[in-house]
Amino acid sequence: MKLRKVIIWSFLSLLTLIIAIAVSLFEFNHTKIAIALVAPLTDVSPTIAVNGNYMVDGAQLYIDQINQAGGINGHKLVLQVYDDHNDPQIAGKIAHEIVSSKALAVIGHYSSNASLVAGKIYQAYGIPAVTGSATADEVTKWNPYYFRTTLINSQQGMFMANYIYQIVKRSRISIIYSPDSYGLTLAKDFETAFIELGGEIVNRWTLEEETDRASIVQNLVSLKKRGEDPGAIFMAAGLDASASLIAKMRLYNLDYAIFGGDNLGDVSLARRFANTPEERDKPGFFTNNIYALTPIVFDISGETGQEFRNMFEERFGQPPGTRAASYYDAAHAIVAALEESLNNEEQLLQKAVTQQNWGKARYLVKKALANLQPIDTAIQTLAEDKYFNNKGDIYAPLVIVRYYRGLQVAAFTQLQAIPNEKMIDNLEEKLQLENIIKFGSEYMMKTDIVYTGIDINRVTNLNEKTSTYLIDFYLWFLYENNNFKPEEIEFSNFGVERLDSGEKLTLEEPIEKATLQKGVNYQLYRVQADFKEEFNFRDYPFDRQTLAIRFRHSNLTRDKLIYAVDYIGIREITTPAILTKWNRGKVFAEITAWIVKKVSFYPDIIINQSTLGDHRFIERDSEIQYSRFNAVIEVERDLVSFTIKELLPLVFFVVIAYLLLFLPFEQVSVEAVSGLLLAVVFYHLSLIEKLPDGIGYVVALDYAFYILYALLGLELFLVTVGYSQWLANSQIEIRQLMNFGRFVFPLLLFVSFALLYWQYFYRS
């Protein structure tokens, strides 16, 4: 009877444990939180519709990530999409619909005009909004409920004026602008800055109607026939109007350099012309010689930006534009504010949502947005603390992009802000050499972009003991400034033996060297060397490891050099496309125990915290930063192969241990169970021996053996107790004891491995 009670209580305890695990795996029906998104989707031009879809896709991508991870405190998020047709009047009507809904925040609108109209309603009814495309300063300047995750016009106008005058060396300019809030403010800010620099405004043309486009083209044709120079052309107009004018200009063989703000900096401009006969015959026919501003260009974006780009392309089948990234960031900011409020100790937002007090809930979200710090963004900046300022704007970097063969790439010369002029040695000399230029009262450093590509031929000799691997690859560089010398780069993770000896991997003579169009230098190398990454075996054998090639320039710091990914040269940039290529080339043919899960190329920043004895860095409380290029391969252990090769004996041990419980009791001995336990211990040690020496942490495989130790310990206990009953000639008690073991053994095994599965598979 006692044994029967033990069995019943054991069963109930295990059942309770299983229910607790099941409850943790399944979610309760929490209140869903709605976020409104307003975008131009229909009754607009194809170019505007592309951007509208980018807005929805970028925001939805982030919302889906949050929902797949369980939501916020169990609350799932719902994105309610509205279409304002890019019409300010319709935008106002939709704004009234939104304030009457259950939405706690708004993402949008696309244009500054629509945002200004809707913003008055959002402010009056107290609902926060975040735009990723409306750049007119007035959208956020006087509205505490409107925030922005992109550039602002005053920022763009001054920057582009300085770039054209001081970097491109053009002192004459013609301005083309649209008479709306975007065009008027951008043109005014640009003109003011350009004239202050000493530049001359040759022409001012308004671009609104089709007749304006024809008139502008006619004027430019007349100037060209007379041999007069209109200077560079600065466009401060809507995307549709600008694209139509550009098409007419190029068809009339007007190949003047065109500069613009963020409207020209979105990839939808080039896609508008992608299927035209001119573009098919000569890629870049319409867009070559166009320069624009953008907060992000993916070839110089860091790991976060590259991950977003690849994730977006894998899901939607095309690379993202600026709008997709800025609206991904807008969704991220709102979700971060919701999370901050829901996790607040006072639980004010939780109570407001439960009570459906939407007015109070919206105010709490707005308050959290205003105080949010830091804000992680796909559009990466150098700012350590990213937050909305008192005008609702977040610091967004200003990147000059150029169009090349119909694609958007970073210009070879960029400008980076210098936060403290005291950090500059020989300031006057550098100003004269134009390594540094002055923007009003601020200083900016000229930074060279070096396009970099890696093509991997073979990966071999993956050694888990030393965390090393051998890679054979091609490496190439494209650059304009001759200050960059490829032979001076340092591979920071050159193999372990070389690291210990201090030996460095240096590039020999290039296998190909050429000067391409417009002074672009090209150098190609072939490298075969062993590299090292610190492997982490905590999840062994469910582990993922990183194989990487990392390098930086030994002398040029990040303010002078930034690496960019040569997407055009690499071609295949998403993981599925790269793996297809690698399968054809049998890149991983010799490494059969691992499966490639992810491949990425990206630049990042490596910081030298040491002053290296330079007292200038001590006095300025600063650090040395380098741009580093990374080619990273994430591999996952082939669990099927590992199980067949290594874990089958473990399965046999479990089966044998369980079958022992079905033998006649007199044939089961303490020695047999102890011998099996000893065999398991030795096998455990033999598997761990394959890992690097000195690992002081418990790996996942250890837990599997601990489970088997516990089961064998239970069996040993049952056998020991059973012998005492056998000596007392109590056959009934022995039979009950063995039945208990036969029941509890698989139950404990199931629960234990369910916990392992939850820890290493379900949670990941």
The CATH number of whichever domain residue 564 belongs to comes to 2.70.170.10
Q: Is the pLDDT of residue 31 over 90?
A: no
562 part of a folded domain: yes
**CATH number of the domain residue 85 falls in:** 3.40.50.2300
Same domain? 328 vs 354: yes
Same domain? 143 vs 245: no
Residue 30 CA to residue 21 CA, distance in Å, equals 19
Average pLDDT, the chain: 86
Beta-bridge partner residues of 452:
477, 565
Same domain? 618 vs 666: no
708 part of a folded domain: yes
pLDDT of residue 497: 63
Same domain? 121 vs 163: no
Strand ranges, E, within 349-467: 399-404, 407-410, 413-418, 436-439, 442-463
Same domain? 109 vs 207: no
Taking residues 31-44, what's their average pLDDT? 94
Region of poorest pLDDT, from 201-215, 283-297, 365-379, 630-644: 365-379
Among 199, 231, 261, the domain-final residue is 261
Sign of CA dihedral 569, 574, 577, 580: positive
Give, for 675, the enclosing helix (H) or strand (E). Answer: helix 670-688
Same domain? 486 vs 536: yes
Which of 425, 529, 397, 399 lies closest to 472 in space, CA to CA?
Answer: 529
234-273 pLDDT tens trace: 999 988 899 999 999 999 999 999 999 999 988 888 888 9
Sign of CA dihedral 14, 17, 21, 26: positive
438-486 pLDDT tens trace: 877 788 889 999 999 999 999 999 998 889 999 999 999 999 987 889 9
Which amino acid would we find at residue 552? R
Same domain? 236 vs 164: yes
CB of 317 within 8 A of CB of 288? Answer: no
Residue 271 CA to residue 294 CA, distance in Å, equals 16
Same domain? 451 vs 488: yes
pLDDT of residue 502: 60
pLDDT of residue 531: 94
* DSSP 3-state of 458: strand
Among 598, 613, 637, the domain-final residue is 637
436 part of a folded domain: no
354 part of a folded domain: yes
411 part of a folded domain: no
Residue 241 CA to residue 328 CA, distance in Å, equals 26
Domain with 626, as residue range(s), is: 443-637
**CATH number of the domain residue 702 falls in:** 1.20.58.390
DSSP 8-52: HHHHHHHHHHHHHHHHHHS---PPPEEEEEEE--SSS-HHHHHHH
Same domain? 484 vs 361: no
R_g of the chain computed on alpha carbons: 32
pLDDT of residue 653: 85
Beta-bridge partner residues of 129:
106, 146
544 part of a folded domain: yes
Count of structural domains within the chain:
4
Among 637, 671, 687, the domain-final residue is 637
Residue 537 CA to residue 522 CA, distance in Å, equals 41
Same domain? 126 vs 158: no
Beta-carbon contacts of residue 52 (< 8 Å; ≥ 6 apart): 39, 40, 41, 44, 83, 86, 110
Same domain? 495 vs 627: yes
425 part of a folded domain: no
414 part of a folded domain: no
506-554 pLDDT tens trace: 898 999 999 887 789 999 999 999 999 989 998 888 889 999 999 999 8
